[in-house]
Chain A
């Protein structure tokens, strides 16, 4: 497994196009990998766009090492601005009971139980529901979310966006339809409870919308955060 960080140059037209359309961004990310052998599906590639004050970075977790020069030409800087690191050393270092700070972009949804719309998926809207959605999954995903510390609540929904963008559906003869996607950024602290499942979570992602930049959880040192 590999973790790649790519700095996006938002002044470029290509970058704006990609940031405005997750469908296009997903295609651009997948174009950084060679096609899979005949008869096999593309392996799951997770990606996420992180926005700090003036920086926009793309994170990618993938089974193969990406070559981002095409993406760099479209949305990068003059000098190559991506770095790829082996993910295995970190995955091997995981142990039960470890405390990590995490960030996750997710698409929290629920299935409707209403007979009129049974089976249809709806996004959770309020931060409270969205947090509950994550808490409901934490145990099965091999971690426990730390809920309170000295400095106030540790888990927070730090950004919520609702995107609408066009999508061409190959199953419907390439007709363009609109996709609406609620994307939530969770920041918090977690404790590893099941190493095997937690590794899977980091590699396979959480929730829906993985092709649209959701589901990728990354962890960093929990130094300086309440434990």
Chain B
């Protein structure tokens, strides 16, 4: 077994877990369908092609920089300007950075890494307009999903690190249930079919284990207890 580590960062990201009609939501962490879709695009699969083999990969994300929710009220007209398109509210995460990890057989993971380094279709973070910033692949490693999520250094931007006052920062982890029966939240973001005519998803259990703690080099929170020198309070 091996893992492929992906750094998902960009000015805007959108990871729709469930969206209905004119409200196009985003989850606060990347969805499995979004990341598998990105991998499938890198491999050059068309939307109508099956993705069953990818669905079997184990998936987890770490929130390195949560970003901020941004609501865009979108208006659009047809090309000739006569017809107005449906108005919609689209939600984005701005300035977020995630570490996404997929685990699977060595050969598959190596192949996916090659595809991400040299993608067939352009890659994007959840919505076509959300271009990634920097390199996406952080490489392949022969460790488990959980270890990979806790081994990789903190990916947040320096300005974000400086904004955190604490000397240790907790990074939230969302991952697939690894053992059957592990308690978690059920999310409907496992793709069965990406084709526009017959788009369908099924459920998976998302576990939130103990957050990963990283030291913050810019943390400056200091405890100062003047009473300690006088016998304590």
Q: How far is the CB of B48 from chain A (nearest CB, A)?
A: 53
Majority SS at the chain B contact face: loop
Interface-lining segment among B22-30, B36-44, B120-128, B222-230: B222-230
Residues of B within 8 A of A212 (CB): none
Beta-carbon contact of B222 and A3 below 8 Å: no
**CB distance B229 to A221 under 8 Å?**
yes
Q: Cβ of A101: which chain B residues have Cβ within 8 Å of it?
A: 222, 224
Interface string of A1-39 (1 = CB under 8 A from B): 001010000000000000000000000000000000000
Residue pair A85, B231 in contact (C-beta under 8 Å): yes
Name the distance in Å between A81's Cβ and chain B's nearest Cβ.
10
**Closest CB in chain B relative to A146 CB, distance in Å:** 14
* Cross-chain contact B227 with A5 (CB below 8 angstroms): yes
- Of A53, A156, A220, the residue contacting B225 (CB under 8 A) is A220
> B47 on the interface (CB 8 Å rule)?
no
Q: A86-B230, A220-B225, A221-B228 are in contact. List 15 more A-B contacts (CB 8 A).
A: A3-B226, A3-B227, A5-B226, A50-B224, A59-B226, A83-B227, A83-B233, A89-B230, A103-B222, A158-B220, A187-B222, A187-B224, A218-B226, A220-B226, A220-B228
* Bound form: Cα–Cα A53–B223 in Å: 10
User: For the complex, what is the distance from the CA of A101 to the CA of B229, rounded to whole Å?
Assistant: 11
Give the one of A3, A101, A103, A220 with max B CB within 10 A.
Answer: A220
Instruction: State which residues 205-233 of B face A: CB under 8 Å.
Output: 220-231, 233
A220 touches B230 (CB 8 A): no
The CB with the most chain B CB atoms within 10 A, among A53, A85, A102, is that of A85
Interface residues of B (CB under 8 A from A): 220-231, 233
Would you give 12 A-B contacts (Cβ < 8 Å), ordered by A?
Answer: A5-B227, A50-B224, A53-B221, A83-B227, A83-B233, A90-B230, A101-B222, A101-B224, A103-B222, A103-B224, A187-B222, A221-B229
Tell me the bound Cα distance from A218 to B228 in angstroms.
Answer: 11
How extensive is the interface on chain A, given as a class? 20 to 34
> Which residues of the other chain, B, contact A103 by a CB distance below 8 angstroms?
222, 224, 226
Task: Give CA–CA (A208, B134) in the complex, Å.
Answer: 50
Q: How far is the CB of B173 from chain A (nearest CB, A)?
A: 23
Among residues of A, the one whose C-beta sits closest to the C-beta of B233 is A83
Q: Which residues of B sit under 8 angstroms from A50, Cβ to Cβ?
A: 224
A52 on interface, CB distance cutoff 8 Å: yes
Interface residues of A in 70-90 (CB under 8 A from B): 83, 85-87, 89-90
Residues of B within 8 A of A52 (CB): 223
B146 vs chain A, min Cβ distance (A) = 29
Contacts of A86 in B (CB 8 A): 230
Which residues of A lie under 8 Å from residue B223 when comparing CB positions? 52
- Which A residues are in CB contact (< 8 Å) with B226? 3, 5, 59, 103, 218-220
CA A103 to CA B225, docked complex, whole Å: 9
Please provide the 4 A-B residue pairs with the shortest distance between their CB atoms, ordered closest to farther.
A218-B226, A85-B230, A103-B224, A83-B233
- Interface readout for A42-85 with B: 1 if CB under 8 Å, 0 if not? 00000000101100000100000000000000000000000101
Taking the closest CB of chain A, its distance from the CB of B227, in whole angstroms, is: 5
Among the listed A53, A59, A158, A219, which residue makes an inter-chain contact with B229, where contact means beta carbons less than 8 Å apart? Answer: A219
